[in-house]
Amino acid sequence: MSALLVDIVLWGSVLGVGLLTFMRGKPVFQTAMKQGVGDFINIAPRVGIGVIGAGFIAAIIPPEFIISSLGPDTGWLGVLTATIAGAATPGGPVIGFSLGAVALKSGAGAPQVMAYVVAWALFAFQRMILWEIPFMPARFVWFRAAVSLPFPFLAAALSMLLGKP
């Protein structure tokens, strides 16, 4: 039921923004459609490959390994392990979220997966090295990472307090 609600909200948003673009004029609408279709054609195969690849990863990694290192009974050690794994995971959202979903399906605890996803989003090492440091002073990047360090643990703690999603 909630997936259907999300789909309705997303499609409603697309239609609403499309209508607003159409009201700005035909050239604006045509340009937006060309860019949107182009982006869809470029991104859809990557999403498909990422999801299928995550399924392969789920088949390769034994559930016992996931449960023993990231399971609900691993507590704060599992949260620390997930935080390190999240920071070490290369790739974009297709990879990060797919691996988080695989971990959940394989028996990982919700707090551990929360820590993984937040750590991946905040300090993926390759993203800091390839994107952030070339554009910003290294001292700023490392300071940002240090200030962000508590967030995976805070997300896990909140998840522990709120219970299983």
Distance CA 156, CA 152 (A): 6
Distance CA 110, CA 108 (A): 7
Number of separate domains in the chain: 2
Give yes or no: residues 23 and 51 share one domain. yes
Q: Residue 150 is part of which domain span?
A: 63-162
Give yes or no: residues 75 and 25 share one domain. no
- Give the residue-averaged pLDDT of 6-29: 93
List Cα–Cα distances, 135 to 18, 128, 131, 132, in angstroms: 34, 10, 7, 5
**DSSP class of 61:** S
Sequence-separated (6 or more) residues with CB below 8 Å from residue 79 = 111, 112, 115, 152, 153, 156
Domain edge (last residue) among 11, 41, 58: 58
Angle between helices 26-60 and 93-105 (to 10 degrees): 40
Domain edge (last residue) among 34, 58, 82: 58
Give yes or no: residues 117 and 74 share one domain. yes
Distance CA 115, CA 112 (A): 5
Q: Which two structure tokens, joined as six digits, stand for 81? A: 């392990």
Task: Tell me what pLDDT residue 54 has.
Answer: 75
Give yes or no: residues 78 and 114 share one domain. yes
Give yes or no: residues 140 and 153 share one domain. yes
Residue-averaged pLDDT of the chain: 89
Distance CA 120, CA 80 (A): 13
Domain edge (last residue) among 58, 90, 106: 58
Distance CA 100, CA 165 (A): 14
Task: Tell me what pLDDT residue 154 has.
Answer: 96
Give yes or no: residues 110 and 158 share one domain. yes
- Give the residue-averaged pLDDT of 56-85: 88
| Residue 114: closest CA among 66, 62, 156, 64 | 156
Give yes or no: residues 85 and 140 share one domain. yes
Express each pLDDT in 71-98 by its tens digit: 898 999 999 999 999 999 887 887 888 8
Give yes or no: residues 67 and 36 share one domain. no
Give yes or no: residues 74 and 115 share one domain. yes
Backbone angles phi, psi at 50, to 5 degrees: -65, -40
Give yes or no: residues 79 and 138 share one domain. yes
Give yes or no: residues 54 and 72 share one domain. no
pTM, rounded to two decimals: 0.74
pLDDT at position 51 over 80: no
